[in-house]
A = this chain, B = another copy of it.
Amino acid sequence: MIQIDYKSGVPIYDQIVSGISRLAVLGILEKDAQLPSVRSFAVKLGVNPNTVQKAYLILEGNGIIYSIAGKGSFIAGNDNAKKELMRSAEKALESAVLNAKNAGISQNEMKEIIKKVFLKEEE
């Protein structure tokens, strides 16, 4: 479901948040689909339950999922949350591109970076 890179330096909970967000935004996980429980997901990923729960709490705060104590965690059908996610990522990308341009990086180099990032996933 999600691939964690333990050596990347990116916090594990962040990778979980990104992974779930992505699956929700892309519609791979549909509205009201149940997520793995905090405990079972922790076992599957080989991490501490607290780490998974931290991720779920953040996702809930972002409006991507909702959790019901005693029942489980589910994908929210909150389109605003998804749009907000995309908008802020777009804005950040735009400013990174502008910054890169000012540093003298060419359009083609930037496109190479994009390709590289998308390739990494497919490995």
Interface string of A17-30 (1 = CB under 8 A from B): 01101100110000
- Say yes or no: B6 contacts A102, CB within 8 Å: no
Instruction: Give Cα A102–Cα B92 distance, bound, in whole angstroms.
Output: 13
Interface centre among A61, A68, A89, A95 (most CB of B within 10 A): A89
Q: Is A111 an interface residue (CB 8 A)?
A: yes
Contact between B118 and A105, CB atoms less than 8 A apart: no
Chain B residues with CB under 8 Å of A71's CB are 6
CB distance from A58 to the nearest CB of B (A): 8
For the complex of A and B, list the 10 residue pairs with the smallest distance between their C-beta atoms, beginning with the closest.
A25-B104, A89-B103, A96-B96, A18-B102, A89-B100, A22-B102, A85-B103, A93-B96, A93-B100, A97-B117
